[in-house]
Amino acid sequence: MAFEQIGNDKPAHTVNRREKMIGVYIGLLAVVLAICGMGGGNAAKESTLRNIEASNTWGFFQAKNIRRAGIRLQADELTLMLEANPTMPETSRKSIQAKIDEYRALDKKLTSDPASNEGLDELFVKGKAVEVARDLALKRDPYFDYGQALLQIAIVLASVAIISGGNAILIGSVIVGLLGGVATIGGFTLAFPLPF
């Protein structure tokens, strides 16, 4: 069986097989690139959503804290009024004491409300937890950025290797592609710190 010769005295079927294998390799890189892009997009969306949630939680926390401070001031003023006027009629004294008791109960509810999970204590814990989730998503994002860049470079190098026929460029593509794959895995797992 006679083989058609091309360029560098390699049989055509050898070159076609090499090009097919590189084509499959480029396809695999593209799949990993798509997964990396999805992971990066999800990390960016997650960090944005968690940042908004953290801002809303801390805004709600501040509003409740301001409200609680106002209620405490009112209760303190009424308490001082009772102490300053010992001769106040009993009905007035009872009305003011009832208001003080109402303010103190509201103060306790604003401080901690496990039933609604919206007391200051609960909001503080929630705000901190949301910040941790946001920071985790922000930590993942650079892995995906580097992974995408490395995988795109690997695809370009592999494409050049098809045209040039050079193995050095293909080996470089494989090394860069592996680094891109490792960065992608790192983005999902955070199994290792980025060196830069």
Output the DSSP codes for 12-45: HHHHHHHHHHHHHHHHHHHHHHHHHHHHHHHHHH
pLDDT of residue 158: 96
Domain count, the chain: 1
pLDDT of residue 9: 57
- How many Cβ atoms from other residues are within 10 Å of residue 143's Cβ? 26
Per the rule left: phi > 0, alpha: psi between -120 and 50, beta: everything else, 117 is left
Could you tell me the CATH number of the domain that includes residue 67? 1.10.287
Query: Burial, 173: exposed, middle or buried (Cβ in 10 Å; 0-12, 13-18, 19+)?
Result: buried
Q: Is residue 3 part of a domain?
A: no
* Nearest to 176, CA basis, from 33, 16, 51: 33
For the record, the structure tokens of 143 come out as 């892995």
Q: Is residue 194 part of a domain?
A: no
Cα–Cα distance, 144 to 132 (Å, whole number): 19
Distances (CA, A) of 116 to 120, 129, 130, 148: 11, 17, 18, 43
CA atoms within 13 A on the CB side of 183: 25
Containing structural domain, residue 31: 8-189
Q: Is residue 196 part of a domain?
A: no
pLDDT of residue 18: 86
Cα–Cα distance, 65 to 162 (Å, whole number): 66
Q: Is residue 50 part of a domain?
A: yes
One digit per residue, the tens of pLDDT, for the chain of length 196 reads 344 444 455 555 566 888 999 999 999 999 999 999 999 999 999 999 999 999 999 999 999 999 999 999 999 999 999 999 989 999 999 999 999 999 999 999 999 999 999 999 999 999 999 999 999 999 999 999 999 999 999 999 999 999 988 899 999 999 999 999 999 999 999 999 988 7
pLDDT of residue 8: 53
Cα–Cα distance, 192 to 196 (Å, whole number): 12
Cα–Cα distance, 150 to 184 (Å, whole number): 10
Q: Is residue 160 part of a domain?
A: yes
Q: Is residue 3 within 8 Å of 13, Cβ to Cβ?
A: yes
Q: Is residue 90 part of a domain?
A: yes
